Amino acid sequence: MSRFSTEVVYELKRAGWRVGRKRLEQAEVWAKEVADHTSPDGYRHSVFPAALDAWSEFGGLRVAVDGPGAAVARRPFTVDPTLALHLTRTLADVGRSLGTNLCPLGAEDGGAGFLAIDPAGRVFAIDHTGEWFLGASVDAALATLILGTAPARVHDDGTWETVR
């Protein structure tokens, strides 16, 4: 069984992904940059293996989807943690609400939204309308973004319902 649907594989390959893609050196450069970044008010990002794995396999990809999706509009996104580096305090606050740490993963639509990952590999989006659960894994989150599947809204208490 394939990790991804045909449409997801098509869009990932169009962005430069291939099975077995590993860019560990770039992931390590990002890990140092992310870990070394401190906000003016003293907040720092957490870096953990799930983030390194995601950056290694998908880092640098710009997936240029748009238009209607299965339930919501599809927006282009880029996997590059430096695009969300400035969200140190925001990711700390959202992570606290979720009961976990968050690490920057990338950005949607040129910065209209930002992607973050937790140590378990769950992926979240943060935009002007709130926080969203995109998937229990990077694979699931990429499928959500590429297919335009409805993400689950994160409630104020840090919970969400997975939409099937």
Enumerate residues 6+ apart whose C-beta is below 8 A from 13.
none
**Can you say whether residue 8 is alpha, beta or left, with left for phi > 0 and alpha for psi between -120 and 50 degrees?**
alpha
Q: What is the dihedral of CA 27, 2, 124, 112, to 10 degrees?
A: 80
pLDDT in tens, 3-48: 999 999 999 999 999 999 999 999 999 999 999 999 999 999 999 9
Q: With a cut of 60, say whether residue 149 has pLDDT above it.
A: yes
pLDDT band at 1 (very low <50, low <70, confident <90, very high): low
- CA-based end-to-end distance of the chain: 20
Q: What is the dihedral of CA 147, 153, 158, 164, to 10 degrees?
A: -60
pLDDT of residue 2: 81
pLDDT of residue 117: 98
pLDDT of residue 106: 98
pTM (predicted TM-score): 0.95
Quickly tell me which residue has 């959202």 as its tokens: 94
Which whole number is the average pLDDT over 93-113? 95
**What letter does residue 151 receive in the DSSP assignment?**
P
% of the chain at pLDDT higher than 70: 98
Quickly tell me which residue has 């720092």 as its tokens: 44
Q: Which is nearest to 147 in space by CA: 54, 79, 67?
A: 67
Q: Where are the domains of the chain?
A: 6-153
